[in-house]
Structure 1
């Protein structure tokens, strides 16, 4: 991924859960992996890129090239630098061990706050995107692994 930002893991530990994830750069791509636990009201793991300026005005979709494990993930976009604010999310499925190209139209992104849809939030404005990330939160305990080869905006 050209001009790759710094990434960090944000798991349900921020609210008392015990899920754990990591993110690392490997020759095959960015690897998001770990274990989701439902203990102590947990159930999610995520990674996010550090906020910065992007030139995404006019973007109509994002295209992800990923290799998953058969589980569903979400791609999230943030329009501010807040740690705990509204995030626009779009869900995508993976097939175990298969490389997939996933297209997520801007219109598929739903505004959410802590996993719940926010009905009064404005529609996603690509010009305001400051950060992005990946999330697994399907209420299924166990290991996961997602390899991200590329993230591209379509205009």
Structure 2
């Protein structure tokens, strides 16, 4: 499992923004940038839609004021779902990265098998990444939403 001080592994994501599909890599997203990234088990799910994503949307300006270049949301969903979910929550300032095959979640050791919830998914977490290196990593205990909130991460950047 990834830990503070580790460099993120190189993977390719899917992204759909403004009707255009692309496949940015870890380097494209994180190299030379200070990024807050948070992961959710699934788009359009209750805690993710009612609290996790909205918190980062509402505090985006405060993250920028603290020198954060990007706020990234990732989930094991396809790029079309991530784009639609972002649109539904006015998340146009966030990068809604699709980890459709759970390659990123698996590479960092934060994938979990959920069976009836959709198979392999990401655990809920948030991290501060500076030039590809993990500076802060907050992983939620199963069923919890405490340490990966936007408020918690804002206090740590």
Instruction: Specify if TM > 0.5.
Output: no
Q: Where is the helix percentage greater, Structure 1 or Structure 2?
A: 2
Q: Where is the strand percentage greater, Structure 1 or Structure 2?
A: 1
TM-score (normalizing by structure 2):
0.28
TM-score (normalizing by structure 1):
0.28
